[in-house]
Chains A and B, each alone.
Chain A
């Protein structure tokens, strides 16, 4: 139990569907992250939110739309995805998003996404 909870753990969706991944952290952190882990590439940072403000969009296609209503919750809205978007999507949080003085990042268990 890392204090970062992701739902659903598994999701199968068609290319025309709209779905959302949810992440909640119970650690009192101020920064939240979405990472993508696929079989072919190393873990890739997608988005960073610091105090609810997006501070990083790592050239992610617009079919992925993040939302951070408060420092404890982060969503990833999915729309018209492609089969190559099938991957493990990991949410993470850290005390803060800036200076890296021991700013430890904690990960959730991930959401396995399959696009058919």
Chain B
């Protein structure tokens, strides 16, 4: 099965850029996702990248994928206090038999210092 590793904590100052890193083991994932979870809430889909891409930009979010090293990162530009949350990396994979799945890391808790 897939293993996903993320740093547990990241602290940045408001206005700086945040970079959240993720490594995974299964190279068969064709789509890799980033989710955000605020306290007491469910998971909000932020963005995703197709595995044949190196980079995807969506407003303040930039996703970088190094497929050779199985490394995914999420950069948040001009980080705001509202970005404080837990961020999950989640490679998607098809287990067969009509069962598409995501494997989650433990999540990175981003704290933004005003």
Q: Which residues of A are interface residues toward B (Cβ below 8 A)?
A: 2, 4, 6, 31, 42-43, 45, 48, 50-51, 53, 55-56, 90, 92, 94, 96-110
Contacts and interface: CB of A to CB of B under 8 A. Distances in A.
A100 B98 contact: no
Interface residues on B, range: 20 to 34
A45 B42 contact: no
Given A42-B4, A109-B42, A110-B42, A104 B98 contact: no
Interface in B72-108: 88, 92-95, 97-102, 104-107
A104 B48 contact: yes
Determine the main DSSP class of A at the interface with B. loop
A56 B41 contact: no
Contacts of A105: 33, 45, 92, 100, 102
Contacts of A102: 31, 48, 50
Contact of A97 (B41, B43, B98): B98
Contacts of B42: 2, 4, 6, 90, 107-110
A56 B88 contact: no
Nearest to B107: A42
A104 B33 contact: yes
B104 A42 contact: yes
A107 B99 contact: no
Given A43-B88, A94-B100, A107-B35, 4 more contacts: A45-B101, A103-B100, A104-B33, A107-B43
Contact of A42 (B30, B94, B101, B105): B105
Given A101-B30, A103-B92, A50 B99 contact: yes
B24 to A, nearest CB: 12
Contacts of B41: 109-110
Given A100-B92, A100-B93, A107-B42, A56 B35 contact: no
Nearest to A53: B98
